[in-house]
């Protein structure tokens, strides 16, 4: 009887062990596994990478429109020196990982003769100052691009190349125009595009459409598509709007919305010569784009109060790579207000508004927060 009982117990233990073993060592099929992992992974057999986070700070300034009053003030016995004009804002420009500027007056150099409104040409030495102050890339596409003809454009592009500063919006060949300009920092790749509404009635020379990018919806859509395939973030410069208007026009909003919908992530606006409040644009795919409709004048000889005001726009771009794939976010939009101070057309300098005039700072801070109420203004 005891032996029979032992046999029954042994048999029971074997059955339990078999069932348990089946549970422990059985594996779900790939379809079942896919339900439990992110969509960019096929099986759990792949090693799980820890989440990686990288960030890049992007800064941008508005119009560099060098009137005769400005370059005359920079004149020295041996050339020009613009460095003192930037001294008070230099740390704020060079601290960013990438800094963008709008080179509105063409950097054609003094060999062909410097000139002012209405047909600008700027000394090479301004480029030296921008390099010293951490400028990484400039837009050349604006209504003054063709002011001094092809030679000035050739001189400017060659000088930017010599300085190691990238440029967009104006090119010397179709191949150059079709090449997407990118900058990679901290494992994040940025592409840059630039366009203008026009060139003050000056036609582009026959057979050379690449000399200046004009705003064209089909071209913009095509360029953004190519840029998106080569970068994480698409930054677009648009030279548009009405001069001296402190709020964006309907036309500006339509162009910005179109570019955003096509895939532009950050839009930097120029031409009004005064500050216009930035805003977020909600796209149909659920994403958001950030547009600074007008960054104002960063350095110019214009005298009216609001035309002396510009600033340094800033954002942080974050890239997160992990189990659920890669995500890009644009966060912490900010703006440092600046003022072009001078007296009797001399002693030009760019100075932070907060340190220059507290009452002016409060007024402009409120203006810039019109649409983005939590915009950090300093």
Q: Do the domain assignments include residue 85?
A: yes
Q: Do the domain assignments include residue 58?
A: yes
Q: Do the domain assignments include residue 22?
A: no
Query: How much is the pTM?
Result: 0.86
Q: What is the mean pLDDT of residues 192-213?
A: 98
Q: Do the domain assignments include residue 43?
A: no
pLDDT single digits (tens) 128-146: 999 999 999 999 999 999 9
CATH code of residue 225: 3.60.21.10
**Range(s) of the domain holding residue 206:** 52-377
Q: Do the domain assignments include residue 21?
A: no
At 228, give phi and psi (nearest 5°).
Answer: -65, -30
Q: What is the mean pLDDT of residues 179-204?
A: 98
pLDDT single digits (tens) 296-355: 999 999 999 999 999 999 999 999 998 888 999 999 999 999 999 999 999 999 999 999
Cis-peptide into 118, omega within 30 deg: yes
Q: What is the predicted pLDDT for the residue at 49? A: 65
Q: Widest CA span of the chain, in angstroms?
A: 120
pLDDT single digits (tens) 234-280: 999 999 999 999 999 999 999 999 999 999 999 999 999 999 999 99
Q: What is the predicted pLDDT for the residue at 301? A: 98
Q: Do the domain assignments include residue 264?
A: yes
Q: Do the domain assignments include residue 35?
A: no
> What is the rounded CA–CA span in Å between residue 372 and residue 365?
11
Tokens (6 digits) for 344:
């009797």
In this predicted structure, which of 62-66, 325-329, 365-369 has the lowest mean pLDDT?
A: 325-329
Residue with tokens 């759990």: 44
Please say if the pLDDT value at position 10 is more than 90: no
If one counts the domains in the chain, the total is 1
Q: Do the domain assignments include residue 38?
A: no
């Amino acid at each position: 009887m005891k032996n029979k009982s032992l046999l029954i117990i042994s048999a029971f233990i074997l059955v339990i062990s078999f069932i348990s073993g089946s549970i422990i060592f059985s594996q779900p099929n790939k379809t079942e596994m896919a339900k439990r992992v992110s969509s960019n992974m096929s099986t759990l057999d792949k090693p799980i990478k820890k989440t990686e986070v990288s960030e890049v700070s992007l800064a941008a300034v508005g119009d560099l429109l060098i009137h005769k009053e400005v370059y005359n003030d920079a004149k020295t016995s041996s050339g020009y020196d613009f460095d003192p004009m930037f001294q008070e804002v230099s740390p704020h420009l060079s601290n960013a990982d990438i800094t963008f500027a709008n080179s509105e007056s063409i950097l054609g150099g003094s060999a062909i003769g410097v000139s002012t409104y209405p047909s600008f040409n700027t000394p090479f030495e301004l480029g030296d100052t921008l390099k010293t102050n951490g400028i990484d890339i400039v837009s050349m596409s604006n209504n003054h691009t063709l002011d001094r003809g092809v030679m000035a454009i050739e001189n400017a592009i060659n000088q930017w190349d010599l300085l190691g500063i990238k440029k967009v919006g104006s090119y010397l060949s179709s191949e150059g125009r079709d090449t997407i300009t990118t900058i990679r920092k901290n494992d994040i790749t940025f592409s840059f595009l630039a366009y203008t509404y026009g060139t003050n009635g000056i036609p582009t020379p026959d057979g050379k459409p690449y000399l200046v990018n004009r705003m064209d919806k089909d071209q913009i859509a095509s360029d953004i598509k190519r840029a998106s395939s080569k970068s994480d973030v698409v930054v677009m410069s648009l030279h548009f709007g009405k001069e001296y208007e402190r709020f964006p026009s309907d036309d500006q909003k339509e162009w910005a919305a179109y570019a955003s919908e096509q895939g532009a992530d950050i839009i930097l606006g120029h031409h009004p010569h005064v500050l216009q409040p930035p805003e977020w644009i909600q796209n149909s795919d659920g994403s958001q784009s950030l547009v600074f409709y007008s960054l104002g004048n960063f350095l110019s000889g214009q005298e009216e109060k609001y035309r002396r005001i510009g600033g340094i726009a800033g954002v942080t771009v974050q890239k997160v790579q992990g189990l659920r794939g890669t995500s890009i976010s644009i966060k912490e939009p900010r703006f440092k207000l600046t003022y072009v101070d001078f007296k009797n057309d001399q002693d030009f300098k760019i100075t932070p508004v907060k340190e220059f005039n507290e009452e002016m700072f409060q007024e402009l801070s409120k203006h810039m927060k019109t649409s983005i109420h939590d915009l950090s203004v300093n």
